[in-house]
């Protein structure tokens, strides 16, 4: 009963999403709303401002370099978190967090 209801609900939501994608503008349209203000400036002035013919790298690393800095730091923090969770009760985890032998400061009291 609940499995059939879940299937029907998922199909209805998928059909609604597919119908809404027809309303979006075409992909390379120069008159759509996101392509009006900043994008023509980037396309016209990327080669002479940054000196690189690759507009993707020029946008990522020169015009929006600040965002790439925080994206890199998010990747580092997520890798660190996954590593610390996975090494919870192992020997390597105890060596990283200095538990066990070296955590004897509290036990000496």
Partner 1 sequence: MKNNSKKTNSMKRPFGGIVLDSSFRIIIPFTLVYGIYILTHGEYSPGGGFQAGALVAVGIVLVRLIQGADKDSFNVTGPLAIVCAGVGTFIYAATGWLTMIGGGKFLDYTYLPVPMHHWGELHALGILMIEVGVTVCVMMTIIDIMDAIIERLDDDTEEEVVCDE
Partner 2 sequence: MQILIIEAMLLLFLIFITVCILVSKDILACTIIYSAFSFCAVLTYFMFGSPDVAFTEAVIGTMSTIFFVAALKKVDRWCK
Residues that bind partner 1 (CB under 8 A): 49-54, 56-58, 60-62, 65-66, 68-69, 72-73, 75-76, 78-80, 82-83, 86-87, 90, 92, 95-96
Which one of 20-28, 45-53, 73-81, 99-107 is the stretch in contact with partner 2 (CB under 8 A)?
20-28
Instruction: Answer whether 46's CB lies under 8 Å from 59's CB.
Output: yes
Spatial separation of the C-alpha atoms in residues 30 and 19, rounded to whole Å: 23
Q: Residue 13 or 103: which CB sits closer to partner 2?
A: 13
Spatial separation of the C-alpha atoms in residues 109 and 94, rounded to whole Å: 22
Spatial separation of the C-alpha atoms in residues 101 and 104, rounded to whole Å: 6
56 binds partner 2 (CB under 8 A): yes
Instruction: Answer whether 29's CB lies under 8 Å from 35's CB.
Output: yes
Return the one option of partner 1, partner 2, none that residue 27 interacts with (CB less than 5 to 8 A, by type).
partner 2
């Amino acid at each position: 009963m609940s499995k059939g209801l879940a299937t029907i609900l998922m199909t209805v939501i998928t059909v609604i999403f597919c119908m809404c994608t027809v309303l979006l503008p075409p992909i390379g349209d120069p008159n759509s709303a996101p392509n009006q203000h900043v994008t023509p400036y980037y396309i016209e002035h990327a080669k002479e401002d940054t000196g690189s013919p690759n507009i993707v790298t020029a946008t990522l690393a020169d015009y929006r370099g600040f965002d790439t800095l925080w994206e890199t730091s998010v990747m580092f923090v997520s890798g660190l978190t996954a590593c610390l969770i996975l090494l919870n009760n192992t020997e390597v985890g105890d060596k990283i967090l200095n538990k066990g032998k070296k955590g004897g400061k509290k036990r000496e009291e």
